[in-house]
Chain A
Amino acid sequence: MQAFTTLDGLVVPLDRANVDTDAIIPKQFLKSIKRAGFGPNLFDEWRYLDHGEPGMDPATRQPNPEFVLNFPRYAGASVLLARDNFGCGSSREHAPWALEDYGIRAIIAPSFADIFYNNCFKNGVLPIMLDAAVVERLFGECAASEGYRLVIDLDRQTVTTPGGEALAFEVDGGRKHRLLNGLDDIGLTLLQADRIKAYEERRRVEAPWLFA
């Protein structure tokens, strides 16, 4: 996994609540057996006017000029500003894969759906929760100033605005450590192999039907 330390990124605002993972990456693209290549189909049904299917050349598609990701001023954005309950719905990890493949490395919202939030950390994408009132203010600043960027520092747990205001955010210590260092979860868990074995041996006696 790629590490996340600091990011100075252009912000794209997606002003709607309850954005679900079906919207982030529609089902037809979930048929892929690969992890990469979902970026061109991020928000496919909002982003294009024509219907998307796997294998289509993005260059032949008709972009929807009304959709915020297609506004020239947001080209190259790496910070997504969003509303409440971002990433609700299905557990598909294709959602953070698509965001990351597109170039989004951090998402700022008042709240996230649990499974999506967790999936982001496995893929080098940092989900940041800020108060709804603060997010509201960032939406305003972003709309008012073209080229609006935020500086995110995971180690210090801050989001810094162009005006120099540092907004603090919370992140679980273990997740932070793994994301800062780009660590492989499985490798770390396997260091606990003796404990797992001891649990299994005890459980095999207590609840043998679980090992039948």
Chain B
Amino acid sequence: MSGQTLFQKLWDAHVVHVEDDGTTLLYIDRHLVHEVTSPQAFEGLKLAHRVPRRADAAVAVPDHNVPTTDRSQGITDPVSRLQVETLDANCAEFGITEFRMDDIRQGIVHVIGPEEGLTLPGMTVVCGDSHTSTHGAFGALAFGIGTSEVEHVLATQCLWQKPSKTMLVKVEGTLGKGVTAKDVALAIIGEIGTAGGTGYALEFGGSAIRALTMEGRMTLCNMAIEAGARAGMVAVDQTTIDYVKGRPYAPKGTAWEQAVAWWNTLHSDADARFDRVVELDAAQIEPQVTWGTSPEMVTTINGRVPDPADASSEVKSQDWTRALEYMGLQANTPIAGIAVDKVFIGSCTNSRIEDIREAASVAKGRKVAANVKLAMVVPGSGLVKQQAEAEGLDRIFVEAGFEWREPGCSMCLAMNADRLEPGERCASTSNRNFEGRQGQGGRTHLVSPAMAAAAACAGHFVDVRKL
């Protein structure tokens, strides 16, 4: 009999009950809640006269609707304000811990979970948000759910699930200078496609993944959903444990020792069998830039916008044609040289301290180009912002002409006031280049923080390795 995958170990540890057909009642350890996907769940709970089974397992934070500019006046949009106030009221009513908008710990839900030690190895973590896959970086089973399941978890602390298939994405070798976890994520999606991971839980392994920091691993797992996989994960190692140690909600004392002993077993066994294995050579990965309206529409900084005539099928050719039309691009245009109007550095993909440092190292001593209307840096949490300011990174950005903002989801999905105008082109460190994602008619190109900062200073996409 072969050994177990990390996924199987995490799954087995959380089985409450299995039905005859394999449908499993899975226990959920951590439930992260935000303002957009929870109001109808709390309403449903109240209508049925139910209460949360374990209010202590849930933690809430407003992030999607919060302004990234001066917050002293609160939220001006009354619809956004009501949604955040509804979260505040629901958390108060049901005794759920919430980091409110004026709390230094407030930030993007997928940044604050790990930062506070709310996300721990071995946990099942869910949130009404597809980027919950981020937390898999800790050797956790983490996936996004809809509002009905948010209500289900609140009421029962469990979910009905069937086991996913498993895919090992192995990246061996050393990443080149200027090549980051974001580039690895986009290269993987380019390889397997946006639906390549559908039905699978992805495990990222290999020496290049082992060498990543926790911030890098979170970036990678965050993008698992863009490959269609609800969950992405990385095995626990010393990097994981060092990151978790001392975090406010991490175990202490003997509980810590006991936890670490278990966490150290959270890796796929050497003889574990996966349903699919994909291998990439780290040394071959170059800085990536998307050119279309799906994350799989990606090439390297030295590549060109593809020609729909070269697509592998008629359906794909039509998709490419439509994407190029929406993006306002001509086939065969070199990526380096495409001018940008706005630059967004932030989101649950790339707003952690390491991302901010990476962008700052490029911005240092440079100026935002005259053709760039707005270059903004939105830290992932109040604590990331504080740390960056302690390191003087905010001053580097401001001197270079970037705006330094308050934490939140911001222009990743433009639910607050931060958005693209029709036709504007943006170098963005976020995760989705869908039509209208950053504002109706907006044109998004996904890149790493270093590549975004480089584009801001050059006024167009440029190979950060050549600066």
Interface string of B238-270 (1 = CB under 8 A from A): 000000000000010001101100100000000
Q: Count residues of chain A with CB under 8 A from any CB of chain B.
A: 57
Which one of A67-75, A83-91, A146-154, A158-166 contacts B? A83-91
Contact A115 B432 (CB under 8 A): no
* B315 at interface by CB-CB < 8 Å: yes
Query: When A34-B40, A88-B228, A196-B27 are in contact, do A16 and B318 touch as well, CB less than 8 Å?
Result: yes
Contact B48 A186 (CB under 8 A): yes
Interface string of A9-30 (1 = CB under 8 A from B): 0000000111010110011101
* B199 at interface by CB-CB < 8 Å: yes
Contacting residues, chain B, for A130 (C-beta < 8 A): none
CA A118 to CA B152, docked complex, whole Å: 13
Contact A114 B198 (CB under 8 A): yes
- Report 21 cross-chain contacts, Cβ distance below 8 Å, ordered by A residue: A22-B432, A26-B436, A27-B415, A28-B415, A33-B82, A35-B40, A51-B440, A85-B194, A88-B194, A91-B128, A113-B195, A114-B229, A115-B144, A115-B146, A186-B152, A190-B155, A196-B157, A209-B251, A210-B29, A210-B123, A212-B255
Query: When A113-B228, A186-B50, A189-B156 are in contact, do A89 and B43 touch as well, CB less than 8 Å?
Result: no
CA A198 to CA B229, docked complex, whole Å: 31
Which one of B16-24, B300-308, B337-345 contacts A? B16-24
CA A112 to CA B82, docked complex, whole Å: 33
A:147-184 near B, CB below 8 Å: 172-174
* B230 at interface by CB-CB < 8 Å: yes
Task: Select from chain B the residue with minimum beta-carbon distance to A198.
Answer: B16
Contacting residues, chain A, for B29 (C-beta < 8 A): 210
Task: Select from chain B the residue with minimum beta-carbon distance to A199.
Answer: B16
Complex partner residue of A91 from B130, B151, B152, CB under 8 angstroms = B130
Contact B86 A33 (CB under 8 A): yes
CA A27 to CA B80, docked complex, whole Å: 11
Task: Select from chain A the residue with minimum beta-carbon distance to B48.
Answer: A186
Contacting residues, chain A, for B436 (C-beta < 8 A): 22-23, 26, 45
A:82-136 near B, CB below 8 Å: 83-85, 88-93, 96, 111-115, 118-119, 122-123
Query: When A23-B434, A122-B146, A209-B258 are in contact, do A85 and B65 touch as well, CB less than 8 Å?
Result: no
Report, nearest first, the 3 A-B pairs whose CB atoms are least far apart: A209-B251, A93-B146, A122-B148
Query: When A33-B82, A192-B17 are in contact, do A186 and B130 touch as well, CB less than 8 Å?
Result: no
CA A33 to CA B42, docked complex, whole Å: 10
Contact B21 A174 (CB under 8 A): yes
Distance of A56 from chain B, by nearest CB (Å): 12
* A203 at interface by CB-CB < 8 Å: yes
Complex partner residue of B129 from A32, A91, A96, A199, CB under 8 angstroms = A91
* B358 at interface by CB-CB < 8 Å: no
CA A195 to CA B36, docked complex, whole Å: 32
* B149 at interface by CB-CB < 8 Å: yes
* B25 at interface by CB-CB < 8 Å: yes
Complex partner residue of B228 from A35, A85, A199, CB under 8 angstroms = A85
Contacting residues, chain A, for B432 (C-beta < 8 A): 20, 22, 89-90
Query: When A85-B198, A185-B152 are in contact, do A174 and B258 touch as well, CB less than 8 Å?
Result: no
* B37 at interface by CB-CB < 8 Å: yes
Query: When A23-B434, A54-B79 are in contact, do A17 and B258 touch as well, CB less than 8 Å?
Result: no
CA A34 to CA B29, docked complex, whole Å: 28
Contact B36 A23 (CB under 8 A): no
* B414 at interface by CB-CB < 8 Å: yes
B:139-178 near A, CB below 8 Å: 143-149, 151-152, 155-158, 160, 162
* B354 at interface by CB-CB < 8 Å: no
Contacting residues, chain B, for A114 (C-beta < 8 A): 198-199, 228-230
Contact A173 B146 (CB under 8 A): no
Contacting residues, chain A, for B413 (C-beta < 8 A): 22, 27, 90
Contact B25 A189 (CB under 8 A): yes
CA A90 to CA B414, docked complex, whole Å: 14
Contact A208 B440 (CB under 8 A): no
Contacting residues, chain B, for A195 (C-beta < 8 A): 16-17, 25
Contacting residues, chain B, for A144 (C-beta < 8 A): none
Distance of A130 from chain B, by nearest CB (Å): 15
* B213 at interface by CB-CB < 8 Å: no
Contact B48 A209 (CB under 8 A): no
Distance of A70 from chain B, by nearest CB (Å): 18
Contacting residues, chain A, for B68 (C-beta < 8 A): none
CA A54 to CA B64, docked complex, whole Å: 16
Contact B255 A208 (CB under 8 A): yes
Task: Select from chain A the residue with minimum beta-carbon distance to B145.
Answer: A91
B:51-93 near A, CB below 8 Å: 53, 56, 64-65, 77, 79-80, 82-83, 86
Contact B79 A93 (CB under 8 A): no
Contact B255 A209 (CB under 8 A): yes
Contact B25 A186 (CB under 8 A): no
Query: When A51-B440, A185-B152, A196-B158 are in contact, do A18 and B144 touch as well, CB less than 8 Å?
Result: no
CA A199 to CA B16, docked complex, whole Å: 6
